[in-house]
Structure 1
Amino acid sequence: MSTGSGRFRARRAARAGAVNAGAAAPEVISGEAAWELVELAQRGDSRACGHLHVRYRAQVAGFLRSRLADLGTVEDLVHETFARALHGIGAVQRGGAGTIRGRGP
């Protein structure tokens, strides 16, 4: 076995552990508290972005794990989901009756 393949397995195991670590994640927030974090993130507050990631990561990972067998793919998609969410956070606005709307791509 080559050193390269061992490193690959170690990275894959670390990612799998990161996906499974979501079980002890903080409680998901909603309502006004969630909107406060979104609005702070829209103004560039990196701590608010971090809080959103911590609060919703386990929920996103759980959804993906229920549909995909490969934990490495799950971790990649969790990362991609949050990267896209952060990139588009400025387009998020409050809708009626507590809904969230985007302003387009």
Structure 2
Amino acid sequence: MSPALQRIEQTREALIGALAERNWETISELDVACRACVDDVLSEAPVDEQALRENLESLLAVYKQLLDVAMGERQAIVNEMTQINQAQNATKVYHLFG
């Protein structure tokens, strides 16, 4: 396995770990590193296409999972903000008539 493919695999594994911990700062850093790894592997001389395909498909699956989790987190924040706004409005009404 080429060094670039190994870096992709290592970065993918690190992304999985950071995602499990919901460590968004580390995920952001690993995303940048992952892009560099992909650029490196695509600029190299032809490599084992099957290994490349498998690594990139595995990486794609991690990114899909990452997007699903991020959208879920975003929706949770939206729901929480909605509840806060409703509570603030209820407080205003209570003070208005109280």
> Is TM-score (shorter-chain normalized) higher than 0.5?
no
Considering fraction of residues, name the structure with more strand.
Answer: 1
Higher radius of gyration, 1 or 2? 2
Q: TM-score, normalised by structure 2?
A: 0.30
Per the normalisation by structure 1, the TM-score is 0.28
**RCO higher in 1 or 2 (8 Å CA, sep ≥ 6)?**
2
